[in-house]
Amino acid sequence: MPSVATYATLAEAASAMTPTSRFLAGGTLVMRDVNYGDQGFDRIVRVPDPALKAITPDSGRISIGAGVTMAGILASRDLDFLWPAARAVGGPAIRSMATVGGNLFAPHPYGDLTTALLALDGVVHLSDSGQVPLDQFLVNRAGLVRSVSVIRPAGDAFRFHKVSRVKPKGASVLTIAAWLNRSAGRLSNVRIAYGAFAATPVRVTAVERALEGASLDQAGIAPALQAATDGLAPVDDALASGWYRAEIAPVYLRRVLLGEVR
Amino acid sequence: MAKTPVTFTLNGREAATFVDPAANLLDVLRRGLGDLSPKYGCGQGTCGACTVLIDGEPHLSCVTLAETIEGRTVETTNGLQDSAGLHPLQQAFMDGFAAQCGYCTPGMLMAAKALLDRNPSPSREEVIDAIAGNVCRCTGYEPIVDAILTAARAPRRTG
Amino acid sequence: MAVEFRKDLFADERDDDLNEIGQPIIRQDILGHVTGRSPFYDDHLYDGLLFMRCVRSPHHHARIRSVDAAAAERMPGVIRLIRPQDVPVNLNTLLSLISFGRDDEPLLAEHRVAYKGEPVMAIIATSDRAALDAVARVRVDYEELPHVLDVEDALKPEAPVVNETYPNNTFDYHDRYDHQKLRFGDVEAAFAQADHIVEGEYQMSPIEQAPIETCGAIAAPETNDRYVCHTSTQALFFSLGTTAKLLDMPSSRLHFIGGTVGGGFGGKVDSHHEPMAVLGAMLTGKPVKYMWDRAEEMQVGAPRGGERWRLKDGVMRDGRIIARAFTGFFDAGAYTRLSSYAVQKATGHLPGPYMIPNVASNVYCVYTNRTPSTAMRGFGITAVDFAIECHMDKAAETVGMDPIELRILNAYRDGDMKAHRRAAKNCALIESCQVVAQKSGWPLSAEAMAQSSLFGGGIGERGVIPETVTDQAGQIGERKRSGLAPEPFAGATARGHVPAGTATDHPATGNAPQREDMEIEAERLGFKVTRGASAPGQTPASPMPQPQPAATVAPAAPRPGAGPAMPPAYTAPAPASQQPVAPPASTRPQPTPPTPPAAPAPAPAAEPYKPEQPFQRGVKRPGVSRFISGSRRR
């Protein structure tokens, strides 16, 4: 049975982490592993510090504490652009437990919120005050997360859609998030991310490049749809084959880009 | 194995117990305190049978670290009934055949209570979303949704 | 949701005096459900409860070289290890209680594992997590063996042997064949005469019952050398009998408590937890709980087995199906459980609810290195019904006919002889089709709407067992040697002929019943008195049964928007309102008053009780507990 160690601050917890320690936030992932006898850790570390639940707007960006729950996002007007993504996570009980920080570590096919954060230029702030772009963070997923900061998108520039077989709550077959930044009527520096497509949520750089300078209409996005899965290796799982994921990606990408689904 | 003392409010009464390290709330409620109304269905937060309310919000007790409820308020189906009789949700589930095997029922009731406490007149879609994390395998979702809507329309009880 | 009762249908067949049906009713157990107080098995608290977990095979198929549990035994909280040698009778088959099949499955595997997740050892500890931690420290040295996961691969000569009790990877039927046969009429001759041959293959994947309450049991020592067992079983006495057999103890020492089941759907009959928990209580003298977690429920819990079906129909231009052959494969997984029975249930269901004069099927219960499969809601029927109904659509498409009309044309009517040699009664498919079409706004022809299950059935060839061609291909072991194709008559070197309507003791018509209450109802058997069936495929000019000479409706002209035109042969009696409802008395089966059974002669008082009939054969076989009660009907 793992032991539990509680620390007042994230910095203290970080210095107390051992190779067989796991950090517990909302518990939905760690407690599952405890219940199922995971032999990979024997120590649970937690930090009941309210500072981790802070939501702090900062000019064009906003910082979301790692301990903010999905329900916390849904209760914050400042984060209304993330409501569709937060609502896509689990049912109400999961949403009152699952945290932003935990979602960054969620194994495939989970991580719908992370997909949204990825498209919003997420930057991970770590316990040691270091910061790392979210796409880089997802490669190793190491360290204790203090907060994530993202762009506050204007108007309808941010789009999010989750494809699942069971509604309203089902694990993702494909999640698409898009930040459609525009400059002089043309798409510019857009960010597109897929969830439940690869081992972690990923940016789709081929699509981002194809949309550079394009107009947001059927003809303008055609090259992006061609490139919908370029450079990606979709995964097989019990919900869908990689082949199926690759087939539906351009279909849903079109719908997301043209605003046919919200 | 050192145990941790935990004091909290369970269905309006003070409860105090010692919990094993890493024990989950479901085990503590059932084996530690004898409240058998929340059920084990998965141990991984996917079925909703163990749903309880913590400070009024629905939580999955099987993936809640027991010691984190120190000082908080927990509600279970065991506390729904009061001296005035059945809770309107219980009555509506009974009248509307909203349970077959009954195993998912306590979790359903708590998920529904969380909704009605916050939103006394929910739409059908809001009810469906409120129980989206609760699996019923006897496939009785329609009568369950109907029963929750019926309970929402029932006269408010005072006190 | 409102239920609509169509009491206008078959109104003269029943007294409309139902008091409960159609009335709202409060479930008798619902107060417990809504207050969270219904006593599920896990809701029985015991001080000092111990927890049991199993060491499971990570391989589909492997030989167990050795098991090292020394480290596990030293883990904190571990009370007792249970090894295969600790199980008094470590071999069983579920249906041995009704004397069907050979013992083929250990409670704990000793030398070999045949599916991923098969238990090889159990560990009892003071907490669930302590048991899990100890399980993680057991080292099993496996020698991986080739495995087979597909039913047809398993039939190939080179396939590895999955289950040593059935070395051909098929259940043995009637001590003779590697499949269950059904032969009715002559499908080969009928195929030769059919206008179209319609073939199709259909498959259903395994389906997990996934009850919200996972399977489990709590057992504890009771007074007077008994054990109490709270269980989630769907089949309390079945589980009790199985436990008595495996633990070689009189069932009178077992006090089973159940009946409050958190969803079962067939997945809680396999009686694995009860013997494990009781054995744990016996070996520790303490209350022991053995419960599957969700992952075990999904991986190890026996699902509805996968099935593959191939259908071949001989169809006439006018839509009549004159022959249908089935080749069916049930994936039993590594052990028999209930799959052998599912095959027989399926065979009894063929060819579906349709009057097809020539039917043949070969259905196989196949062993593969997959999780053993078991009961689930209509198992044995569901997949083949899916196949049949898909195939009916395919046949309709082939002949250009409306799919509902094709079903009405071919539907059983009262008195029709079914392929398993009983006359159909209480048929209602035609009426169901008509109501469904009405409700869904699906246009049907006047002829189709005028049809009824009540007339036209059992007339002429429809009411008798036809001359039947048989074969003896597929003897036990033959396929493994020769790679015989699985289809009916494939590889048959000779044909037998059972004359129409005369056989009473041929294997094709079944064995003598075991009890009086299973005597064949002569009036439902429909054997012809005289020999000489007409050749298959020869039918009256009109495919629609004619209750009596009546004005037939002229072939319908094509109606715009009303589907394809009826074939010329599709004729029907005038609307039912102008027809006598009942067919001629000679073809309408009349119930015969049952003969009262002779009162048994009272036994002399001095003699001890002896049953008139022996108890089941199963209990007398070596290795089987003598204490299992026989099950008697009535």
Task: List beta partners, residue C64.
Answer: C142
Contact C574, C568 (CB under 8 A): no
Q: Helices marked H in C285-380 — which ranges?
A: 294-299, 339-349
Give the per-residue pLDDT at C597.
Answer: 45
A74–chain B Cβ distance below 8 A for any pair:
no
Contact C402, C563 (CB under 8 A): yes
Query: Which pair of structure tokens corresponds to residue C566?
Result: 């009826």
* C136 to A37: CB separation less than 8 angstroms, yes or no: yes
Q: Taking 90 as the threshold, does the pLDDT of residue A101 lie above it?
A: yes
Supply A149's token pair: 């900061």
Does B65 touch chain C if contact means CB atoms closer than 8 Å? no
Structure tokens at C52: 């049991």
Asked if B94 lies within 8 A of C42 by C-beta distance, the reply is: no
Phi then psi for B92, rounded to 5 degrees? -70, -40
Q: What is the pLDDT of residue C562?
A: 39
B54, pLDDT greater than 90: yes
Contact call for A39 and C127, based on CB within 8 A: no
* C147: helix, strand or coil: coil
Kindly state the DSSP code that residue C353 receives in the 8-state scheme: S
Q: Quick check: C337 and C269 in contact, CB under 8 A?
A: no
Q: What is the pLDDT of residue C634?
A: 29
> Chain A within 8 Å of B57 (Cβ-Cβ)?
yes
Going by C-alpha positions, the residue among C474, C468, C266 that lies closest to residue C364 is C474
| Interchain contact, B102 vs C31, CB within 8 Å | no
Q: Which of B54, B68, B133 sits opposite A92 (nearest CB)?
A: B133
Per residue in A112-128, pLDDT (tens digit) is 999 999 999 999 999 98
- Give me the count of residues in chain A: 262
Give the model confidence (pLDDT) of B76-105 as tens digits. 999 999 888 999 999 999 999 999 999 999
Q: Provide block-wise average pLDDT over 10 residues at a time, chain C (634 residues).
A: 82 82 85 97 97 98 98 98 98 91 97 98 98 98 98 97 97 96 97 98 97 98 96 97 97 96 96 98 98 97 97 98 98 97 96 98 98 96 97 98 98 95 94 97 97 94 93 94 94 91 47 50 47 39 51 39 38 39 40 45 45 41 41 32
d(C-alpha C384, C-alpha C391), whole Å: 10
| pLDDT-above-70 percentage for chain A | 100
Out of A31, A36, A92, closest to residue B64 by CB: A31
C133·A37 Cβ contact <8 A: yes
Percent over 90 (pLDDT), chain A: 94
Distant-in-sequence, close-in-space partners of A182: CB < 8 Å, separation ≥ 6: A157, A188, A216
The alpha carbon of residue A38 is apart from the nearest alpha carbon of chain C, in Å, by 8
Query: Helix and strand tally (H, E) in chain C?
Result: 14, 17
Provide the 10 A C-beta neighbour count for residue C606.
5
Q: Is A225's pLDDT higher than 80?
A: yes
Nearest CB to B40; choose among C31, C42, C265? C42
H-helix segments, chain A: 10-16, 30-35, 70-74, 83-87, 92-95, 100-104, 112-119, 134-140, 205-211, 218-226, 242-257
CA distances from C458 to C118, C267, C407, C467, C589 (A): 51, 40, 17, 16, 9
Please state, in angstroms and rounded to a whole number, the distance separating the CA atoms of residues B9 and B73: 5
**Nearest of C217, C250, C251 to residue C234 by alpha carbon:** C217
Q: Which of A44, A71, A93 sits opposite B133 (nearest CB)?
A: A93
Q: What is the pLDDT of residue B157?
A: 59
Q: Does the model's ipTM exceed the 0.90 cut?
A: yes
Residue C603 contacts A where some CB pair is shorter than 8 Å: no
Question: Which one of A3, A20, A30, A36 makes the best mutation probe of the C interface by having the most chain C beta carbons within 10 Å?
Answer: A36
Q: Which residues pair with C235 in a beta bridge?
A: none
Q: Is A223 on the interface with B (CB under 8 A)?
A: no
| Distance from the Cα of residue C520 to its chain's centroid | 22
Q: Quote the CA–CA distance of B123 and B127 in Å, as a whole number.
A: 6
Question: Among B46, B62, B104, which residue's Cα sits nearest to residue C40?
Answer: B104
Q: Are strands A43-46 and A3-6 parallel, antiparallel or unpaired?
A: parallel
Chain A environment of B54 (Cβ under 8 Å) = 96
Q: Is C543 helix (H, G, I), strand (E, B) or coil?
A: coil
Residue range B59-63: mean pLDDT, rounded: 98
Interface touch B22/A4, C-beta < 8 Å: yes
Instruction: Tell whether A41 is within 8 A of chain C (Cβ).
Output: no
Q: What is the pLDDT of residues A60-96, one digit of tens each?
A: 999 999 999 999 999 999 999 999 999 999 999 999 9
Tell me if chain C has a CB within 8 Å of the CB of A3: no
Give A54's strand partners.
none
Q: Which amino acid is at C240?
A: L
Pairing of strands B4-10, B73-75: parallel
State in words which class domain C43-145+209-299 has: alpha beta
CA distance C601 to C610: 13
Contact residues, B window 77-116, toward A, CB-based 8 Å cutoff = 111, 114-115
What is the model's pLDDT at position C185? 97
The per-residue pLDDT for A262 is 56
Q: What is residue C51's three-state secondary structure?
A: strand
Indicate the residue type of A165. R
Which of B137, B139, B144 is the best mutation test for C, with the most CBs of C within 10 A? B137
Cis before A109 (ω within 30): yes
Task: Look up residue C29 and give its amino acid.
Answer: D
Is some CB atom of chain A closer than 8 A to the CB atom of B45? yes
Which token pair is B49? 């049978």
The residue among C372, C327, C348 whose CA lies nearest residue C166 is C372
Give the minimum alpha-carbon distance from C248 to chain B in angstroms, rounded to a whole number: 32
- Residue C563's pLDDT is 38
Beta-ladder partners of C365 = C330
| Cβ contact B45–A28 (<8 Å) | yes
Q: Domains along chain B?
A: 4-78 (3.10.20.30), 88-153 (1.10.150.120)
Q: Which of C130, C136, C293 sits opposite A39 (nearest CB)?
A: C136
Domain ranges across chain C: 43-145+209-299, 402-466
Q: Would you list the DSSP string of C89-105?
A: T--B-GGGGGT-S---B
Q: Rounded to whole angstroms, how far apart are CA atoms C93 and C340?
A: 11
Of all residues in chain C, the one with the smallest CA distance to B81 is C35
Judge contact between A124 and A131, C-beta under 8 A. yes
d(CA C26, CA C32): 12
**Residue B8 contacts C where some CB pair is shorter than 8 Å:** no
Q: Is C446 within 8 Å of C575 (Cβ atoms)?
A: yes
Q: Positive or negative, the Cα torsion across C416, C422, C428, C432?
A: negative
Q: Pick from B65, B63, B57, B68: which is nearest to B45 by CA?
A: B63
Distance from CA of B76 to the nearest CA of A (A): 14
**A106-110, B134-138, C517-521, C607-611: which range is least confident on average?**
C607-611
Q: Would you place residue A131 in the very low, low, confident or very high pLDDT band (cuts 50, 70, 90)?
A: very high
Residues 25-54 of C with CB under 8 A from B: 26-27, 29-38, 40, 42-43, 45, 49
Nearest to B94 among C1, C34, C212 (CB): C34
More confident position, A58 or B61? B61
Quick check: C196 contacting B, CB < 8 Å? Answer: no
